Amino acid sequence: MISVDTSQRILDIAEQLVQTRGFNGFSYADIAATLGVTKASLHYHFPSKADLGQRLIERYGKSFLAALASIDRGGGSAPDRLRRYVAIYIEVLCDDRMCLCGMLAAEFATLPSPMRDEMMHFFDENERWLSGVLEHGAAHGELRFAERARDVARALMASLEGAMMLARSYGDASRFELAANRALAQLAA
pLDDT by residue (tens digit) across 21-76? 999 999 999 999 999 888 998 999 899 999 999 999 999 999 999 999 999 999 99
Write the DSSP symbol of residue 47.
S
| 83, burial (CB in 10 Å: exposed 0-12, middle 13-18, buried 19+) | middle
> Rounded to 5 degrees, what are φ and ψ at 98?
-115, 160
Per-residue pLDDT reduced to its tens digit, 78-114: 999 999 999 999 999 999 999 999 999 999 999 999 9
pLDDT > 50? residue 2:
no
Look at residue 4 in the predicted model and tell me its pLDDT.
Answer: 63
How many independent structural domains does the chain possess?
A: 1
**33 in a domain, yes or no?**
no
Q: Please tell me the pTM assigned to this model.
A: 0.92
Summary mean pLDDT of the chain: 94
Do the domain assignments include residue 36? no
Which pLDDT value is given to residue 133?
Answer: 98
Residue 117 belongs to what domain range? Answer: 50-185
Sorted by sequence, the CB contacts under 8 Å of residue 20 that are 6+ apart come out as 96, 97, 98
> Residue 100: inside a domain, yes or no?
yes
Asked if the structure places residue 62 within a domain, the reply is yes
Instruction: Report CA-CA distances (Å) from 20 to 15, 77, 93.
Output: 9, 34, 10
Average pLDDT over residues 115-140: 97
The answer as to whether 105 is a domain residue is: yes
Residue 121 maps to a domain? yes
pLDDT at 145: 96
Percent of the residues in the chain that have a pLDDT greater than 90, as a whole number: 93
Find the mean pLDDT for residues 123-135.
Answer: 98
| CATH number of the domain bearing residue 106 | 1.10.357.10
| Confidence bin at 1 (pLDDT 50/70/90) | very low
Asked if the structure places residue 43 within a domain, the reply is: no
Secondary structure tally for the chain: helices H, strands E: 9, 0
**Domain for residue 57, yes or no?**
yes
